[in-house]
Amino acid sequence: MSLDTQVNKARILIEALPYMRRFDGRTFVIKYGGHAMVDDKLKKAFAQDVILLRQVGINPVVIHGGGPQIGQTMIQMGLKPQFIDGQRVTDQETVNVVEMVLAGKINKDIVNLINLNGGRAAGLSGKDGHTILARKRNHRRKSETDTPEEIIDLGWVGDVEAINTDLLELFKSSDIIPVVAPVGVGKKGETYNINADAVAGHVATALRAEKLILLTDVPGVRDQAGQLISRLETKEALQLIKDGVIVGGMIPKVETCLTARKGGVAATHILDGRIEHALLLEIFTDQGIGTLVV
């Protein structure tokens, strides 16, 4: 290794130093999903990133998704996945598969990955300690005519009613990284399948997190010309949605960020999880790599 390479490495550490100081003791809620969950190299890099965050005094809380894995498992079991307006129809048989895949398989795989790379992690679902209290989602489809909105029953699909932070607060005083599956519990103990982005936003607000970070399969939010927006103000975000520039699956992600900001989260980020060590590049460098919603 040349001396210049070694000096560059030292400069990277110096650049990161003020951010390490600023965020010491703060909580970061990280939604882990997309390609970063399936590529072995990216999976290892993600585990190393959250371990480093914990090592420098930051409290990472990982919320994970798993939609594609749920679909694959359903097909293997002879079940046919069904979607309405992009949302999974979740009957009793499907919600059993959802809980099995999210809380039983994916969650433990992430915990194991972090542990194997030198960290300490513990997995839980929203049902543990009643961490994620949920209610049934009433999906409404707007009519193109003057007829009333159509109410569609999606089954055991839920919205977050409240977040109980008791268990998550306990992890702050340890070096253990909590990994949470987005499965909620209703008032009668029923199980609900909840969108992981939404869960991450609610958890970040409840914990008064410094940052909410959503890992995606795109570079971030783009403008009318298709260029990455590094810093996105709330008014600009709302205008881009209104103008049809922010569309599709990016809309709920941006709305989650805006809701979290309104709820007191200091900063929210949307970044490309396909980039190795995306978390470190976004958090500990002056320029970052994704979209910061402020």
For the segment 234-248, what is each residue's pLDDT rounded down to a tens digit?
Answer: 999 999 999 999 988
pLDDT, tens digit, 9 for 90 and up, residues 89-104: 999 999 999 999 999 9
Domain boundaries, the chain: 26-293
Query: Alpha-carbon distance 241 to 250, whole Å?
Result: 9
Dist CA 128 CA 151 (whole Å): 31
For the entire predicted model, the pTM comes to 0.93
Burial class (CB in 10 A: 0-12, 13-18, 19+), 120: middle
Residue closest to 40 by CA, chosen among 125, 116, 124, 97: 116
Q: What is the arithmetic mean of pLDDT over 41-62? A: 97
Instruction: Give the span between the Cα atoms of 203 and 180, in whole angstroms.
Output: 10
Alpha-carbon torsion, ordered 200, 201, 204, 205, to 10 deg? -150
- The average confidence (pLDDT) of the chain is 92
| Mean pLDDT in residue range 29-56 | 94
- Tens digits of per-residue pLDDT, 71-95? 999 999 999 999 988 889 999 999 9
Q: Which CATH class is domain 26-293?
A: alpha beta
- 144 pLDDT band, cuts 50/70/90, is low
